[in-house]
Chain A
């Protein structure tokens, strides 16, 4: 009888996993495999010698080196700037804390293209620094590093600060009573508890910056290219598929290694820590040190996060409303349609992508949350994170190669774009839903069952009300991510149906003030849409929803 119950639970889990696994097989594994095969297989069979050839080229080695060191530098810089902020948001109570916490999250969901554009407006030709002091950074690596800090600031604040705010301050007090000085207590008690969260955040930042595309594409110029940018260049400009395939493999291996380490640190983070309600751990700042820290963090947020966005908005109004009006014209020659139509396209695509991501991610999270999860399920968990790191460019190009013939010919279908965007949204849905589903006390379900609720009723009466908010938050994240997706969409969006980020990139690639101004205006619209979505979410956000 026990064995039968076990088999039933296993069957349920398998059923839940079936959909997500099929989705990933068809829309992720197959396209990626197709492009790698295309690049490495000729009539005569596999050409693995290409790997050594490609990696041996000096310009490719240069790209690899740059990709790695800029990711390391970006990660270090982000930690340096954001860790004090994690402390301030976790432990200090000041007016406007909740709003500011939401504000620092806005950059994370902003499309990379907007981030690139905003920094261009700040440090580029004719930018704010250029106007004031004649300083231009857009030809230096600093522009990229700063944009990466801007983008990933929230990752550290949320991941580390989220845990920090829940650490029981009495642990430190216990150490104090045993004779530890304040610094010693922090070093021996708080720091070890935080270390896995810091490591997890650092790995996430490293992963995002290692695979950075939109930011580097816009700010890197001809000098700086990451692997992802190089893959794009090789596929769409040089048409050297075999080099692109090798680079994809290299990136795949690197990302796989990073994710494996990340999964390990996350498991350690979930280990036995005494967590308390975050609302009880924050105190009003006391003493000169804490006030200085608070002021410093607020100043950083103002200069690093708000200023670029403010400059972007201001530049978009340089010609009054002229740039916004120009968005309505189709005769600019850049597009077959008026740029403003990309707003509608983007919103439609994002809605469909969100629905797909929530369905797939929700099923996956439900399967993962079941308590008897074994090794197989943990592997599935890691698999779901892969799209975050695998070259979006590869996925996009793979869609074109793999999904263009029967049985699945989607090349002419509008559904390709939302499918690619959903792929990127799924990891966010899973990460948001999973902690909430896991936190539902199993005995609440039992209480409902004993009171006469069938398993389906139990899910509806107990689980659903508890995850409803998380579901909305997850949907919002998926929506924002879909809206901003660039790497894959740039390949598969049809010329007469561009999305917002694709339109921005295309405008930026054309000369002339009008195009530049329109890019700023379109970016501003995209930013407002994303920010509104996020601020709505922040109101819904529960304590238990996931941290990234």
Chain B
């Protein structure tokens, strides 16, 4: 039996369905990350599970129990808010102990658990510090400790690392992943950052306009995006309509090779930047280099086909990258090409 089950959960704001008949399950000890652009309904999803947002239709079940009549404070789930929402008039210890206090834990019990959690999130001895004096990363740790303290059966995270700078974010993702693995916590997180989702989750759920567009392991979703929306949201630019016949596809870029066993007929085609190979100007599809952007490990070259077709992105080693304005030829690699839909 799954720990959390959403059954056709629907939330409407006026005429707009922010959650549109969403079905979702989260198993015990699973870390699920909901990924989607802003306005796709992911925060509403968390609020509905927490009991902060009443459903218009459908059901939320926790441990098999319908939660319709259970108010937020009795659901036993934890929620870490996007901007943390630490209680400003309490110190760090007071924030972490809050949930324990609400459950009537004794003073000694509270103090022991606060110490334990601050240790866990890497802020030992910070219990007496004022919340106002914490850095963004420290606030995030306190918010996590506060959410974990009452041992919720499900921990939900709303854009957990959203406001932190990049290096801190990358370090904290690793820490969180390790922590959840060690504690066996069941986690439902939402984020708009695919890197965060892929690094954190056992399973990624992509949302679009209140519906689930795709659900699968990070590798699945990355390798085989379900449709054009998911592909573009993951940052892939080389997506075009195509007509597939056997191992070849007719596209605005000409005839491309596709992997054996691809779907046939009118489809959408994705070529990953690594599958766009630059060759001599007189071979393949002739293109002009419109721009190049440095990505650290490689250079992304933006190419304009000379016959006026859609632009292409190619990943290419720094030393071999052509300059803007150069004319090059393009060939396509079937192993980096995916037929969608």
Interface residues of A (CB under 8 A from B): 1-2, 4-5, 441, 443-444, 446-455, 457-458, 461-462, 465-466
Is B98 interfacial (CB-CB < 8 Å)?
yes
Chain A, Cβ-Cβ closest to B69: A1
Asked whether, in the complex, the Cβ of A452 is within 8 Å of the Cβ of B54, the reply is no
- Is the beta-carbon distance between B77 and A450 smaller than 8 angstroms? yes
Please determine whether A441 and B102 come into contact, CB atoms closer than 8 angstroms. no
Chain A residues with CB under 8 Å of B99's CB are 451-452
Write 22 A-B pairs (CB below 8 A) sorted by A numbering. Answer: A1-B55, A1-B56, A2-B56, A5-B54, A441-B85, A443-B83, A446-B47, A447-B81, A447-B85, A448-B87, A448-B98, A450-B75, A450-B78, A450-B79, A451-B78, A451-B98, A451-B102, A451-B146, A451-B150, A453-B73, A457-B73, A465-B89
* One of B76, B81, B87 near A462 (C-beta < 8 A): B87
Residues in B75-113 with C-beta less than 8 Å from chain A: 75-79, 81, 83, 85, 87, 89, 98-99, 102-103
C-alpha spacing A399/B51, complex, angstroms: 50
Q: A269–B305 Cα gap in the complex (Å)?
A: 55
18 additional A-B pairs beyond A448-B102, A453-B98, beta carbons within 8 Å, are A2-B54, A2-B55, A444-B87, A446-B50, A447-B87, A448-B87, A448-B98, A449-B52, A450-B52, A451-B73, A451-B99, A451-B147, A453-B102, A455-B71, A457-B102, A458-B73, A461-B98, A465-B89
B73→A447 contact, CB < 8 A: no
Instruction: Identify which of B68, B73, B146 contacts A1 (C-beta below 8 A).
Output: B68
- In the assembled complex, how far is the CB of residue B145 from the closest CB belonging to chain A, in whole angstroms? 12
Closest 3 CB pairs of A and B: A452-B102, A451-B99, A447-B85
Judging by beta carbons under 8 Å apart, are B73 and A450 in contact?
yes
Q: Nearest Cβ in chain A — how far from B274, in angstroms?
A: 42
B61 interface residue (CB < 8 Å to A): no
- In contact, B79 and A447 (Cβ under 8 angstroms): yes
In residues 52-78 of chain B, which contact A (Cβ within 8 Å)? 52, 54-56, 68, 71-78
How many Å lie between the Cα of A466 and that of B90 in the bound state? Answer: 11
In the complex, residue of chain B having the shortest beta-carbon distance to the beta carbon of A4: B54
Closest Cβ of chain A to B146, distance in Å, is 7
How far does the Cβ of A442 sit from chain B's closest Cβ, in whole Å?
Answer: 10
Query: How many A-B pairs with Cβ below 8 Å?
Result: 73
Tell me, in angstroms, the Cα distance from A33 to B83 when the chains sit together: 52
Complex alpha-carbon distance, A143 and B147, angstroms: 64
- In the complex, which of the residues A443, A447, A448, A458 has the most CB atoms of chain B within 10 Å of its own CB atom? A447
Minimum CB distance partner of A449 in chain B:
B72
Q: How far is the CA of A455 from the CA of B73 in the complex (A)?
A: 8
A461 to B76, CA, bound (A): 19
Main secondary structure on A side of the interface with B: helix
Shortest C-beta distance, A157 to chain B (Å), equals 29
Most A CB within 10 A of own CB, among B75, B87, B146: B87
Chain B's closest residue to A452 (CB) is: B102
Give the residues in chain B near A466, CB-CB below 8 Å.
89
| B54 and A446 within 8 A (CB) | no
Report the nearest B residue to A451, measured CB to CB: B99
A447's nearest neighbour on chain B, judged by CB, is B85
A441 proximity list for chain B (CB < 8 A): 85
Q: What residue of chain B has the Cβ atom nearest to residue A466's Cβ?
A: B89
**B89 touching A452, Cβ below 8 Å:** no
A446-B72 contact, Cβ under 8 Å, with A1-B55, A2-B54 = yes
**B85 and A444 contacting across the interface, CB-CB below 8 Å:** yes
Min CB distance A129 to B, Å, is 52
Q: Smallest Cβ distance from B88 to chain A, in angstroms?
A: 8
Cα separation A449 to B78 with both chains bound (whole Å): 10
Query: Measured between C-beta atoms, what is the minimum distance from A456 to chain B in Å?
Result: 10
Most buried by B among A1, A448, A449, A458: A449
**Shortest beta-carbon distance from A543 to chain B in Å:** 13
Chain A residues contacting B78 (CB-CB under 8 Å) are 450-451
| Residues from chain A with Cβ under 8 Å of B77 in the complex | 450
Query: Closest residue of chain B to A450, judged by CB?
Result: B79
Docked complex Cα distance between A350 and B261 (Å): 88
List the B side residues contacting A457 at CB < 8 Å: 73, 102
> A454 contacts B85, CB within 8 Å?
no
Distance from A511 Cβ to chain B, minimum over Cβ atoms (Å): 58
Q: Which of B50, B56, B73 contacts A454 (CB 8 A)?
A: B73
